Amino acid sequence: MSTTYTQIYIQLVFATKCRDNKISSSVRDEIEKYICGILNNKGQKVLAIYANPDHIHIFFSYKNLKITISDLVKIVKTESTNFINKKKLTFNHFLWQQGYGAFSYAKSQKQQVVNYVLSQETHHNKKSFREEYIEFLNAFEIEFKDEYLFEFYD
């Protein structure tokens, strides 16, 4: 009997509603751990995660192909939103913006992407999230319209 073998690495990027700085450093670790748990429970393996105050990067090995990436993102956003609001980890009500970016990488790029995700704090001292996100879209040759990007206020 044959089986399916895959090796797919995905970096997800999505933002808080209105790009509000909702994720403080005091709750970042708890939110990251919860999101890792969601992904692990869905058969995925998180390689790196970093929750910036207004957006998040999640780099994972996409192992459970029975769930689509869009369904996976929906589950992560819904369950983490419910967790954050139930535990009152943010001031006022928390929501993620609609939409996300999903970018694929080769195994040879794995460590580079892990390092990139984990260095987000210093990275954003030099570059805004808007600049970063548009660079991703251009580097991956994804056609886009400005009006359909995240709500950017910087």
Q: Tell me which residue of 75, 76, 46 sits closest to 61, measured CA to CA.
A: 46
pTM of the model: 0.91
pLDDT value of position 152 = 59
Q: Is the pLDDT of residue 153 over 60?
A: no
DSSP codes of every residue in 34-88:
HHHHHHHHTT-EEEEEEE-SSEEEEEEE---TTS-HHHHHHHHHHHHHHHHHHTT
Instruction: Give the tens place of pLDDT for each residue, 76-121.
Output: 999 999 999 999 999 899 999 999 999 999 999 999 999 999 999 8
Instruction: Give the tens place of pLDDT for each residue, 30-84.
Output: 999 999 999 999 999 999 999 999 999 999 999 988 999 999 999 999 999 999 9
